[in-house]
Structure 1
Amino acid sequence: MKQKALLIIVVLFVGLTQAQNYSALWQGYYSYLNIKDTSRSENKIYAAAENAVFTYDVNTFEIEKISSIQGLSGEIISTIHYSQDYGMLLIGYENGLIEIVIDGEEDVLTIVDILDKPTIPPTSKKINHFNEYNGQVYIAADFGISVYDLSRLEFGDTYYIGPGGSQIQVKQTTVRDDYIFAACYDGVGLKRALVASDNLIDYQQWQSLATGNFVGVQEHMGAVFAIRANRRVYNVVGNALTELAQLNHMVLDLKSNDDYLVITTANDVYAYDVDFNVIAQATFNEEVETSFTAASVHSGFLYIGTQHNGVLKTALTDGVSFEQLHPDGPLLNNTFAIEAYSNNLWVTYGDYTLTYNPSPLRSRGVSHLRNETWANIPYDSLLSARNLNKIVINPFNEDQVFISSFNDGLLEINNNVPTVLYNETNSGLESLIIPTNPNIKSIRQSASKFDSNGVLWTMTGRVARPLKSYDPTTGQWQGYDFTSLIPDALGGEWGYSDLDISSNGTKWIGGYNYGLIGFNNTNGVQLKNLSTEEGNMSNNFVTSLAVDKNDRVWVGTISGLRVLYNSTGFFTDNVQVEEIVILENGQPSELLYQQFVSDIEVDGANNKWIGVMGAGLFYFSSDGQETIFHFTKDNSPLPSNNIIDVSIDASNGRVYIATDKGLLSYGSGSSGTKEDFEDAFVYPNPVRPDFNMVEKKIKIRGLPENVNIKITDIEGNLVAEAQSNVNMRYKGYHLEIDGGSAFWNGKNLANNTVASGVYLIMLTDLDALETKVLKLMVVR
């Protein structure tokens, strides 16, 4: 019987907190391909990926995810253990954090005792193994052993069992008869002590059975097996070790499941009986192209964790044919760039360094999310394009995508099929030229953008003509010379972070040495820049930029934020960028002072989403004076405060956020404005009794930029009213407008929830003076 502790008592203990479930507004898109550990319950297999977990029901074959969306920290997982007696999944992390997922409970319990312990160095807190015995969990870690009481959910003693009571790495523990055994590194070897002793904190109580480095020790059907780092397997009887075998590869995992002792190496998984006879073996298959990491046995099947293919399922009697098990998701968690458009999201894993160095070259695939389904394109299908980074989707053909390669050119993908790699042989692109070694070829493509005419503009690093235009309909390329601004083509400017286009056709470019660069060729060529020494730039290294709906250019650097308000006078006037000054605790201060701004995006309401390295994601009002949201690890499911990239799907307002530890999205609900009411609609319609209007809101989509909305009952009585730039979202009105969307909480002017009936939504475009009426049925 499960002995689940009462949560009302749990939260009273020091070091134990509850993590919130964020699934109402957030979605996680973690990679579940690199498995760190496996465990099992009566009817499930648990698989820990890098920073998320999934379960596989062996009876129904259903897969469920547990990630930061459900309350996990998003840190790097090192080991897991499922307690059948208590109905708890224990998750250990490399930083010493422990989390507990309790069957039937929505929130995750977070244990920070080891993480926060000042006497243990940060580099020695990794959790290596959980061993459950008589309601206690012995936690093997890089500092020693800690004891955790599952019934009371609190820590007991910690054992430092190295020489003189020093901290040493303990890889695994097990209990057999009266003894607890510990497999240790740091030359300490294999130790044991009486498990019932009241003085196990005394290192002298721990008897040394062997020296050297041991990777594991496991009780199995009354016997004890231990494995050295030199791949030798021993049977432990009393205080003596008898060598049984030497395996071909380093042992990565050691478990006892059912009647099997399970040993995992990178190439093989072995299932032994108590006499150490091989009962089953699964062997690395070249078609799988991966390495094994951990394994569990359940009901005649091996479930093998791998580095690149999730969990492989194979019958014990088979061992060579595998079924892949993992949730749908992207290839990797360390995303470099993302781009969202019309229910499509593209992801790359580049990269180049901060100083625009492409080395080491990355041979990685790309990922594409479309209508909630992932398609991962492997590297061997990408025409040898390496260091894939910035992405641009053709707005006139969403099935056509261009991805920059920071070494090999520009990759074109059509309908998920890579079709052309543009380079110096088949396009207007150019390789850099090193005078001392002219044979080197490197086409360093980065920022790209389509203009309103369907022409692609793209940047190449370290060439005289870095700006290129390409018309996909005609196949015509054209290059634009920057030597009047950047005389040293090779060494003057190392790379370009971002590119955006104003309504008048000016291309705004983020440089490494030359700051904000503006280019316009509408009436002759105009080329100018603002950098540190001029124009009030906070730094000459521009990391991101965005043109908002007022043609203001928002500029992010490695040390702050600036705004170019007079973009139309950039080439003719003596313009400067400006910092945004806000009142903070009554004192004026600079917005995002000295912060590394990684990305800036403008949503349908002209508000700004700004990612910051080390500080999370900010959502500012259109002028930057109001912080609407500030998402961090502490108040959201972000697995990291390092924001790498942000992209907004204007069709539905969903904000995609790439961090250095995974990809998520936030359902902001806002959307881009429309020219007229042709596509305007309201949903859900009808509103049924089980729909929570106050929390989930009734949405009105497809609105122009300047609109008035009146909601009346069927008799014409006014129920709610809103107007653009007046009843703005996040202000607390019953009816709020955010870009091309409006949100109604179902309450009337008297602050009461409306009754069942038909309601009329009267829309008026205040600019075009057009109107439209929508009907909404509410059933309470």
Structure 2
Amino acid sequence: MLQRLVITLFFLMPFVHSAQNFSALWQGHYSYLNITDIAEGNGKLYAAAENAIFVYDLQTAEIQTISTVNGLSGEIISQIYYSAFYDKLLVGYNSGLLEIVSDLGNEVLTVVDILNKTTIPPTNKRINHFNEYNGLLYIATDYGISVYDLARLEFGDTYFIGNGGAQVIVSETTIYNDYIYAACQNANGLKRALVANTNLIDFNQWSLVGAGDFSAVTAFNNQLFVLRNDQFLLNEINGNLNPIRQFNSLPVDMRVVNNYLIITQANVSYVYNENFSIVATVPVSSEFNSNYSAALVSGPHVYLGTNKFGILKTTLEEPVMFQEIHPDGPLLNNSFAVGASANNLWLTYGEYNLTYNPGPLQSRGISHFVNGENWVNIPADSVLGARDLNKIAVNPFNPQQVFISSFNDGLLEVNRNVPTVLYNESNSGLESLILPGAPNFKSIRQNASTFDKDGILWTMTARVGKPLKSYNPSTGQWQGYDFLDLIQRGLDEWGYDEIDIDNNGTKWIAGYKFGLIAYNEANTGRKIANISTDEQNVPSPFITALAVDKNDQVWFGTTNGLRVLYNTANFFTDRNVRAESVIILDDGTPSELLFQQFVSDIEVDGSNNKWISTIGTGLYYFSANGQETIYHFTEDNSPLPSNIVIDVAIDPASGRIYIATDRGLVSFGSGSSETKESLENAYVYPNPVRPGFNILEEKVKIKDISENVNIKITDIEGNLVAEAQSGINSRFKGYNLEIDGGVAYWNGNNLANNLVQTGVYLVMLSDLDTFETKVIKVMVVR
């Protein structure tokens, strides 16, 4: 039965810091379906989902999430543990990072001693297991065992227990009969030493109990149980290891919880009582076909971590019916492309590589964030066989109709969250690439696509004679356009990363080998042109990002820097066209903006400012001309889980920025939405402004304004309180009244820079182009 529960060393001096909480402006949109570890404590279940955590209250069934927005690092979690005595959640990472979470994510302490230890190779720092004993936390890692004092929050000794004091992988530790046992890998065996020994840093104090590779060790009901990599479960009697049973595959987890020994394989979990009798066998259900990662028992229930369905809850007595538990979220964290329309976001999971190779082909489904509230996930088996889904185009005249490119199978049409048509060579104007000597080979490699102002879809097909296709969803008519004047053989251009259309109908296209390409079928003369060489100031012919701004200037990124084409009008006629670098002053010295950086995406917001993402240095927000850096977000100063930013999308209604990284999706409430054609629907919020509202920081918003507007705020007697005008009082300049795209922000101050008194205020809007006016009343209560 399917039930869904979705609630909307030598480390003597510890080096720690408290992480910031960014929840005011940021939101995390992580997938919580792939569970890497689980823990229980304080009446709650803790589940680690790759690089975020959710907390499930065992009594109330409420769910809370802890992510980078709350201060977690965003790195990949390898192990979690809850200390009941200290009321803290310990989070260990593949990188060796340790984080200590208190008060359900309100405070995160980051401990970087292991991470920063230069004597340990970076690949050997993984935290494998936590074992608490007498206030000390024994941390099993890929180099040995480190001891952490939970009361003092500092590291003590580190034990390198290999032969000659070598670093060895320790999978787990446990305390049994006054000894600390360590399960080691790479033929380093099962070792033990007296836990009270004050000289455990001496490898000679550790003796070998059994040879081989060991993945787990735990004490249960006055016995020691050990998992060996040959799939044998053994127990220790008088210093000897005795086999109990052999599993058909190596268990992925063994733990003792609430007087039960639980051994979990990828496809089944066994629960043993104190007499070592099986009280429950929980195989993977056909309804929830996935792999288990861990399991625990609490009360009458078994909770199982899976790689596809979050936590599955069933009963110990009759484990045949399952309840699915996880927060709402997308299918996966490794999104390949994001596409936004008003209050909606779409995610795909790709993929093709940097040389536009689609293999190995992947079928991964689609995610849709609806109205900024709920996720609708379309599974891989529902996308009509389309693989390597990538670029997204939403019909501006019918937002329920979305076209998603497949880099092998054509173009997928989705209507109201239901995939309805897969366009290919048999039912559309699309065509497959043709490989010499392989007449039966089929691969329709769609990527870049966009809609024009008339509702016509323009899409690019790689490695064919007519790469540019247009499709009218209203009439079903297809049209193909060849690039023969530039690309003599379709096979010569491997892919097209982006396409955007300017006010003249010119299609600006990001090529792989041919650089920046422009095509306009309406031209009477030359229809296609490009720039791609050093002489044209293009640092690489591989264009990785492209956007036409509100001035019809083309901003484009490459694997090796950023360029701008300022004069687009003569691109087809001037044979000496050059792109320009953006030159800024860095401490008085001229320098090139984003010099030699890999630019992955460029988005233009309602104020003509530029959001530019990079592979390796995070996300930038620049002023319209690039001369001012408004924000530079990295994983060190923001909730970005990674500095590798794959794609960015802007919700035109809210101005919210959705940022897809290689380790998950987050969003930032920038507030810069698109301008409107008229002032008809302009409004003010909050209204009224109540005493509890922090007007100085959160500000009163005047939304849905037009592009060229003057705003005056007066009191009821007509005295001017504040004034702003588009292009003059822009945001981030410190004005009391600022304009940012389709939104204006008032901090509540008057012309004397004093906070206004309680009263009714008039917001008078005047469109400077159409002379349209509108007056809105707003009540301020202090």
1:414-453 counterparts in 2 under 5 A?
A: 414-453=415-454
Shift of 1:177: 2.9
Retained in 2: the 8 A contact 1:188–1:212?
yes
Instruction: Find the counterpart in structure 2 of residue 343 from structure 1.
Output: 343
**Letter aligned with residue 169 of structure 1:** I
Q: Say which is worse superposed, 458-467 or 233-242, in terms of deviation.
A: 233-242
Deviation at 1:14, TM superposition (A): 3.5
Output the CA distance in 2 between the equivalents of 1:533 and 1:128.
50
Structure 2: which amino acid aligns with 1:464? G
1: CA distance between counterparts of 2:472 and 2:719?
54
1:223–1:274 CA contact under 8 A, matched in 2: no
Shift of 1:683: 0.3
Write the deviation string for residues 29-79 of structure 1: whole angstroms up to 9, x where unpaired. 111111110000031000001000001101000111000010000000000
**Pair 1:742-2:744 in alignment:** yes
In the alignment, does 2:436 pair up with 1:410?
A: no
Residue 240 of structure 2 is matched in structure 1 by 240
Q: What residue in structure 2 maps to residue 74 of structure 1? A: 74
Match of 1:6 in 2: none
CA drift at 1:105: 6.4
Q: CA deviation at 1:643?
A: 0.8
Trace 1:4-153 onto structure 2 (pairs within 5 A): 14-103=14-103, 106-153=106-153
- Secondary structure of 1:115's counterpart equals helix
Match of 1:7 in 2: none
- Letter of the 1:46 partner, please give it: Y
Structure-1 separation of matches of 2:134 and 2:759: 61
After TM superposition, the structure 1 stretch with the greater mean CA deviation from structure 2, 261-270 or 746-755, is 746-755
Partner residue, 2:766: 764
- 2:713 counterpart residue number: 711
**Deviations 1:524-559 (CA, angstroms, capped at 9, x unpaired):** 361111111442111111001000000000011110
> Any conservation in 1 of the 2:66–2:104 contact (CA below 8 Å)?
no
- Report how many aligned residue pairs link the two structures: 768
Could you tell me which residue of structure 2 aligns to residue 776 of structure 1? 778
* In 2, Cα distance between equivalents of 1:211 and 1:276: 25
SS at match of 1:297: strand
Report deviation, 1:140: 0.3
Does residue 634 (structure 1) correspond to residue 631 (structure 2)? The answer is no
Deviates more, 1:264-273 or 1:469-478: 264-273
Which residue number corresponds to residue 4 of structure 2?
Answer: none
SS in 1 for 2:50: coil
The code of the aligned residue for 1:567 comes to: T
**What is the correspondence of 1:106-255 to structure 2 with a 5 Å cutoff?**
106-255=106-255
Instruction: Give the secondary structure class of the aligned counterpart of 2:286.
Output: coil
Letter in 2 for 1:765: D
Instruction: Report the counterpart of residue 580 of structure 2 in structure 1.
Output: 578
Q: Deviations over 1:157-210 (max 9, x none)?
A: 000011111100000111123111111111111111111110011111111110
TM-score by length of 2: 0.97
Q: Structure 2: any 5+ residue segments left out of the alignment?
A: 1-11
**Partner of 2:277 in structure 1?**
277
Displacement of 1:222: 2.6
- Distance in 1 (CA, whole Å) between partners of 2:484 and 2:720 is 63
Q: Which residue of 1 aligns with 2:593?
A: 591
The answer to whether the Cα contact below 8 Å between 1:282 and 1:318 also exists between their aligned partners in 2 is no
**Contact 2:36 2:79 survives alignment (8 Å):** yes
Provide the C-alpha distance between the structure 1 equivalents of 2:207 and 2:436, rounded to a whole number of angstroms. Answer: 68
Pairs within 5 Å for 1:459-474: 459-474=460-475
Output the amino acid matched with 2:673: S
The alignment's TM-score, normalised by the length of structure 1, stands at 0.97
3-state DSSP of counterpart to 1:123: helix
Which amino acid is 1:117 matched to? Answer: K
Secondary structure of 1:753 counterpart: coil
| Residue 13 of structure 1, CA deviation | 6.2
Distance of 1:320 and 1:144 partners within structure 2: 40
**Which amino acid counterpart does residue 341 of structure 1 have in structure 2?**
S
**Greater Cα offset, 16-25 or 520-529:** 520-529
Question: 3-state DSSP class of the match of 2:490?
Answer: coil
Going from structure 1 to structure 2, the CA distance change for 1:768 and 1:551 (only over 3 Å counts) comes to: same
Q: Is the 8 A contact 2:66 2:105 kept in 1?
A: no
Report if the CA contact (8 A) 2:469-2:479 is conserved.
Answer: yes
- Structure 1 window deviating more from structure 2 (585-594 vs 759-768): it is 759-768
1:487 aligns with 2:488: yes
**Residue matched to 1:565:** 566
Helix, strand or coil at the partner of 1:419: strand
Tell me which amino acid in the other structure corresponds to 2:26.
Answer: W
Answer yes or no: is the 8 Å Cα contact 1:249–1:267 preserved in 2: no
CA distance in 2, matches of 1:533, 1:268: 59
What is the alpha-carbon distance in structure 2 between the residues aligned to residue 251 and residue 587 of structure 1?
60
- State the distance in 2 between where 1:622 and 1:14 align: 44
CA contact (8 A) 2:336 2:349 kept: yes
Residue aligned with 1:641, SS: coil
The amino acid that maps onto 2:781 is V
The answer as to whether partners of 2:606 and 2:742 remain within 8 angstroms in 1 is yes
- The letter of the residue matching 2:479 is Q
**Which residue does 1:553 correspond to in 2?**
554
Match of 2:7 in 1: none
The residue aligned with 2:381 is 380
Are 2:558 and 2:599, in contact at CA under 8 Å, matched by a contact in 1?
A: yes
Distance apart, 1:271 and its partner CA = 1.0
Map Cα deviations across residues 393-412 of structure 1 (whole Å, 9 max, x no partner).
00000000000000000000
The residue number in structure 2 matching 1:458 is 459
One-letter code of the match for 2:557? G
Q: For 1:114, give the aligned amino acid.
A: I
Counterpart position of 1:623: 625
Looking at structure 1, the residues matched to 690 and 117 of structure 2 have their Cα atoms a distance apart, in angstroms, of 51
Cα offset for 1:728?
A: 0.8
* Conserved? CA contact 2:458–2:470, under 8 Å: yes
Contact 1:709 1:761 in 2 (8 A): yes
The separation in 2 between residues aligned to 1:233 and 1:442, in whole angstroms, is 49
* Backbone CA RMSD of aligned residues: 1.1
Tell me the amino acid that sits aligned with residue 446 of structure 2.
Q
Give CA deviations for 1:245-299 in whole Å, capped at 9, x if unaligned.
1122211111111110111110111111233211111111122110100111111
Question: Which residue is 1:478 aligned to?
Answer: 479
CA positional deviation for 1:747: 1.6
Name the SS of the counterpart of 1:251 in structure 2: coil
Give the distance between the partners of 1:398 and 1:36, measured in 2 at CA. Answer: 36
Matched position secondary structure for 1:762: strand
1:724 matches 2:712: no
Aligned to 1:295: 295
| 1:1-27 Cα shifts (integer Å, max 9, x gaps) | xxxxxxxxxxx9631111101110001
Segments of structure 1 that go 5 or more residues without pairing to the other structure are 1-11
Shift in alpha-carbon separation, 1:105–1:456, aligned structure 2, 3 A: closer
Q: Per the alignment, in what secondary structure is the counterpart of residue 334 of structure 1?
A: coil
Higher deviation after alignment, 643-652 or 534-543: 534-543
- Larger displacement relative to structure 2 (731-740 or 272-281): 272-281
Identity %: 62
Q: What is aligned with 1:702?
A: 704
The 8 Å contact of residues 120 and 143 in structure 1, kept in 2 or not, is answered as yes
CA shift, 1:238, in A, is 3.8
Quote the offset at 1:104 in angstroms.
6.1
Provide, for residues 406-465 of structure 1, a one-character-per-residue CA deviation record: whole Å limited to 9, x for no partner.
Answer: 000000000000000000000000000112111100000000010000000000000010
Distance 1:337 1:352 in 2: 11
Listed one character per residue, the Cα deviations across residues 594-653 of structure 1 (whole Å, up to 9, x for unaligned) are: 010000000000000000110100000000111000000111000000110001011110
Where 1:114 maps in the other structure, the secondary structure is helix
Deviation digits for residues 84-121 of structure 1 (CA, Å, limit 9, x no counterpart): 11010000000100001012662310000000001111
**What is the DSSP-based 3-state SS (H/G/I as helix, E as strand, rest coil) of the residue aligned with 1:694?**
helix
Amino acid of the structure 2 residue aligned with 1:332: L
